[in-house]
Chains A and B, each alone.
Chain A
Amino acid sequence: MLKLDKVSKTYKTGDKALHHACFEVPAGQVVGLIGPSGAGKSTLIRCINRLVEPSSGSIQLGDTELTGLNRRELRRARRRIGMIFQEYALVERLTVMENVLSGRLGYLPAWRSYFRKFTGDDIAQAFSLLDKVGLADYADKRADALSGGQRQRVGIARALEQNPELLLVDEPTASLDPKTSRQIMRLIRSACQERNLPAIINIHDVLLAQQFSDRIIGLRAGEIVFDGPPDALTDDVLTTIYGDEDWTQLRGENGSGDQGEDASGVDLMESA
């Protein structure tokens, strides 16, 4: 489905953000991408839809080689990739409906989008998605009138409105409380299962990553240092990814269910 081969990114400043990233994601798989701040998680997912231009390597989505597309082809490829952002990235002064419908912009000529003339199918789908994320009554509210969790739901609806073949998710829970974080992750997870949609979720919170991913990729200083199932994430592996730390507390909380997780010091710090 998605195949990365030796993808590297060196910024103009000389910072090597990503070095020879290679992995494949089959349809329907949810990948949790973890690693310390500055490890290149954000760069990696932005290289895939080329919001950041990769320096070298190849990225294939289905049969399309994404690197080397011209601008027009790139726009067509981006339509197939939904993205969910940290801090939601909704256009605050537009209505919730406009934000969701903006997922269809790539399919609409500019004059139609200017007059907000979306097709009936697009509008019906937007309403059904809003209903699904529990915001059916908020369609005409302005996005800046919503709470954090509600905004991220709109963000999810916008990404799904694209009918994407791949979901890129950048720190979806970074500014949400622990409970809302779990609801948001559950929503993303169920959307992926329902549509057999592969997703790469870039996330700080190791417990959330383990709980909601089929597979974990660990990134450290731009290199993939771990790639395996969530239960293979041992203390040693965490030390490889993040450096030395006492992981026993994190481990201990892991087995004791929801209540314990929310009380965990590490977890609270990450989600706050």
Chain B
Amino acid sequence: MPGKSTAHTYPRHWKRPPLLLTHPFWRKVILLGGLVYLILAIQTIEVDWQRVYLGLERGWRFVQGFLVPDFTSRWNDIYAGLLESLTMTVTSTVAGILVSVPIGIGAARNLAPAPVYLACRGIITVSRSFQEVIIAILLVAMFGFGPFAGFLTLAFATIGFLSKLLAEEIEDCDRSQIEAVRATGASWWQVVNYAVQPQVMPRLVGLSLYRFDINFRESAVIGIVGAGGIGATLNTAIDRYEYDSAGAVLIIIIAIVLVVEYSSSYIRRWVQ
């Protein structure tokens, strides 16, 4: 049969050709060079094993404290710090969302005219270029110690995070749905309300909950540089070598993050 005889002439082996480094010689050179560099780089790292040993001992004491956490002796401090942190988290997340939504819409190329787009992208870039701790140090210097500086820090950081991701979500919207609403003679606001909002709402809710989670964890970090909250309590406990109280604080932080995590995944499924 002609069909059968031609089938034998086709190769029976096929290998995926390299797509990035197609030249065999340069492929070898680049991969080998990378390996040599890695080995050399690792050799330049200086490790002071003496200090690692001492650190391990301190770490062990910390683990011991963590295993027998002391919630009671510093409970008033812990409670006050926790309350402050939660207040900071809730207020900064809400304020951040309120500011982020208009900026996010302005930073979406398919909705905003060029000048608005550039201005909003500028705001986002400024907010995103600094890590929370740096902003907190700055704001603590400006407004003094305490949760107000923390609130401002977290709200500011939320704007960069949420606006950027919201803008990207809006840009990824199904164009045909927007086109269809526009074709009915709807105004810009109506297009946003009827075609864009339904498409991005679940994601916005999800991102807001995720940011709430981040803000709570960050509130512990920026407390260390003086922005109040549970971080300040934690810092004090470690400074006093009260590892059992510090352990209690860490356990509470983990517990709250867990609760937020579980409830946010539940809420996200619910708004889908």
Chain A positions near chain B (C-beta within 8 angstroms): 49, 51, 75-79, 81, 83, 85-87, 89-94, 98, 102-108, 110, 113-114, 155, 158, 162
Contacts and interface: CB of A to CB of B under 8 A. Distances in A.
A91 B176 CA distance: 9
A87 B176 contact: yes
B187 A75 contact: yes
B183 A91 contact: no
A79 B186 CA distance: 8
Interface of B: 174, 176-177, 179-187, 189-190, 193-195, 198-199, 201-202
A85 B194 CA distance: 17
B181 A85 contact: no
Contacts of A86: 176
5 contacts: A76-B185, A90-B177, A91-B195, A94-B198, A105-B190
Contacts, number: 83
Contact of A110 (B177, B182, B193): B193
Given A81-B183, A91-B181, A92-B177, A113 B198 contact: no
Contact of B194 (A75, A76, A87, A94): A94
B195 A110 contact: no
Q: Which of A78, A81, A92, A105 has the most CB of B within 10 A?
A: A105
Contact of B183 (A83, A94, A107, A108): A83
A105 B183 contact: no
Given A91-B195, A93-B198, A105 B184 contact: yes
B177 A91 contact: yes
A156 to B, nearest CB: 12
B113 to A, nearest CB: 12
A91 B187 contact: no
A105 B179 contact: no
